């Protein structure tokens, strides 16, 4: 029941953002942070021109760590030069993608790293009011962050005339209240405006154009904002040397489910394969069990079947692209190969399932989640997510009919791409991929004959005289 013992980093890890996580004697207060070189990067940043910081972030090729993997520098570049409206910065700490557990540790153990990253980002973007949107289920995290903000203010890193530069910034913590959709940046903004978290209609595609209070707004994930601090320290070009081209830096991945040692690891992007992560870092699947399925990037990512093979294009010795066949466990932990194999690196949450798991039951758990979390704004998602849940519920209860797998596929195909926000994809990809990759399990639970169609004389059109 007490928090699991502090863990030592695995030798394959490269800890940058997580450098202070689980360190013996490291505490979340500012004194400890300052003893460890805290706020030195901010001191460096305020000597730089804001535009230069943005350029360093662009040069770093840092991709957002929240799930979409969008280049952070490009997002920042959407702010128009000479913008006259106020610009807002929002830290998205609504960590709620099932399988993802990384921001929790930064917030609880090293809050000042995040605050420093936010101050540097605000300085670079000319922001004077920033919000830290933290999910409601982190009440202690919210208190720790409020304390960190007060300490930073007392030490002159926040408030008026920061470090004598004339730059002013206030950061306020804003607690969510249990809605997954607040992780979607425009939903988050609506929520911060005191409304239901209905994602906004696109375009504009980015809140950098129209965001909080109809002003330009940058929304970044906790981990992304922490990276900004390290980019300022090492320089964008140096940061870009970590990882692989277009997949730079380190990232935190969390492994949960049926492995011997679940947990979080900060790895150089692309430096190890899914197989190495599961077998070497996490000790493999439990004794006597076989690997069955992996969800590689948070519950919304399409599932991989353990025996799947993929044909991907890799650079040969002469630099030309050659086709190569790889298995699931050979997929490097990066953004691009994961996408080329038909899933996504997403939020870095890897969920492993062994051969003791029933795939219909597993999908049903996710369908319950998505049916519960759909905001209800778009019909395909509101009705479809619930419909898929009802079907898998019925299949588990023994009432699966022969047409159920096809209906599941058809419903999911009619959600993705037909909604205002990416929740449509998020809720349909699990169903689409589970049914496609484990057809035998779904067929085995869908054996009852399809009920005969309603006789024509009882159709509603007939009964109402065809007027409706």
Partner 1 sequence: MQIPPELTAQIDEAISHYPVSKRSASLPLLHLFQENFGYISEEAIDWIAEKLELQPIHILELVTFYPMFRRKPPGKHHIRVCKTLSCALAGAEELKTKLCAATGIACDGHGGCHGDPVSVSADGRFSIESVECLASCGSGPVLMVNDDFFEAVTDAEIPTLLSQYK
Binding site for partner 1 (CB under 8 A): 1, 3-4, 95-101, 103-104, 129, 135-140, 172, 174-180, 191-197, 213, 254-258, 262-264, 295, 299, 349, 351, 353, 357, 362, 365-366, 368-369, 372-373, 375
C-beta closer to partner 1: residue 269 or 363: 363
Which two structure tokens, joined as six digits, stand for 128? Answer: 């004077």
Q: Tell me the CA distances in angstroms from 425 to 183, 296, 344, 355, 422, one per residue in order.
A: 14, 16, 12, 27, 5
User: CB of residue 41 vs partner 1: minimum separation in angstroms?
Assistant: 26
Give whichever of 311 and 372 is closer to partner 1, judged by the CB atom.
Answer: 372
Smaller CB separation from partner 1, 60 or 343: 343
Choice between 102 and 229, CB closer to partner 1: 102
- To partner 1, the closest distance from the beta carbon of 263 in angstroms equals 5
Q: Which residues on neighbouring strands pair with residue 251, listed in sequence order?
A: 267
For partner 1, the closer of residues 66 and 236 by Cβ is 66
Least distance between partner 1 and beta carbon 365 (Å): 5
Cβ nearer to partner 1, comparing 38 with 187 = 187
Tokens linked to 107? 């917030």
Least Å distance, CB 241 to partner 1, is 29
CB of 347 to partner 1, least distance (A): 10
As measured in angstroms, the least distance from the Cβ of 329 to partner 1 is 20
Contact between 266 and 13 (Cβ < 8 Å): yes
261 burial level (CB within 10 Å; 0-12, 13-18, 19+)? exposed
Q: How far apart are CA 186 and CA 422, in angstroms?
A: 11
Closer of 192 and 267 to partner 1 (Cβ): 192
Please state the closest distance from residue 230 (CB atom) to partner 1, in A.
23
Query: How far apart, in Å, are the Cα atoms of 36 and each of 26, 45, 56, 113, 225?
Result: 9, 18, 24, 11, 19
């Amino acid at each position: 029941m007490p928090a699991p013992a502090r863990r030592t980093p695995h030798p394959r890890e490269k800890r940058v953002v997580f450098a202070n996580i689980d360190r013996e004697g490291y505490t979340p207060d500012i004194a400890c942070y300052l003893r460890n070189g805290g706020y030195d990067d901010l001191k460096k940043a305020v000597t730089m021109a804001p535009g230069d910081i943005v350029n360093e972030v662009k040069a770093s090729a840092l991709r957002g760590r929240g799930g979409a993997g969008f280049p952070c520098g490009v997002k920042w570049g959407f702010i128009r030069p000479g913008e006259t409206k106020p610009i807002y910065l929002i830290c998205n700490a609504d960590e709620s993608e099932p399988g993802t557990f990384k921001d929790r540790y930064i917030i609880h153990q090293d809050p000042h790293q995040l605050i420093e990253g936010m101050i540097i980002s605000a300085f670079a973007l000319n922001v004077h009011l920033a919000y830290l949107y933290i999910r409601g289920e982190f009440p202690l995290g919210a208190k720790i962050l409020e304390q960190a903000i007060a300490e930073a203010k007392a030490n002159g890193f926040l408030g008026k005339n920061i470090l004598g530069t004339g730059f002013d910034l206030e950061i306020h913590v804003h607690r969510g209240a249990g809605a997954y959709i607040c992780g979607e940046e425009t939903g988050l903004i609506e929520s911060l405006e005191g409304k239901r978290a209905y994602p906004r209609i696109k375009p504009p595609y980015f809140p950098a154009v129209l965001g909080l209070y109809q002003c330009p707004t940058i929304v970044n994930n906790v981990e992304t904002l922490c990276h900004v601090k390290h980019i300022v320290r090492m320089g964008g070009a140096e940061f870009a040397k970590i990882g692989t081209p277009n997949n730079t830096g380190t990232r935190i991945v969390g492994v949960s489910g049926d492995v011997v040692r679940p947990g979080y690891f900060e790895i150089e992007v692309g430096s190890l394969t899914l197989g190495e992560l599961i077998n070497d870092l996490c000790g493999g699947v439990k004794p006597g069990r076989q690997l069955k399925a992996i969800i590689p990037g948070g519950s919304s990512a399409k599932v991989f079947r353990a025996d799947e093979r993929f044909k991907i294009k890799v650079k040969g010795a002469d630099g030309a692209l050659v086709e190569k066949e790889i298995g699931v466990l050979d997929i490097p932990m990066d953004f691009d190969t994961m996408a080329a194999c038909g899933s996504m690196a997403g939020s870095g949450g890897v969920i492993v399932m062994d051969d003791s798991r029933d795939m219909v039951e597993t999908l049903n758990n996710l369908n319950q989640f998505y049916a519960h979390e759909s905001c209800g704004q778009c019909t395909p998602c509101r009705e479809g997510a619930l419909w898929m849940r009802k079907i898998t519920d019925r299949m588990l209860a023994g009432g699966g009919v022969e047409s159920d797998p096809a209906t599941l596929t058809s419903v999911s195909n009619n959600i993705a791409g037909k909604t205002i926000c990416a929740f449509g994809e998020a809720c349909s990809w699990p169903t689409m991929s589970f049914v496609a990759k484990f057809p035998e399990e779904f067929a085995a639970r869908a054996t009852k004959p399809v009920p005969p169609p309603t006789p024509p004389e009882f159709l509603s059109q007939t009964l109402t005289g065809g007027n409706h």
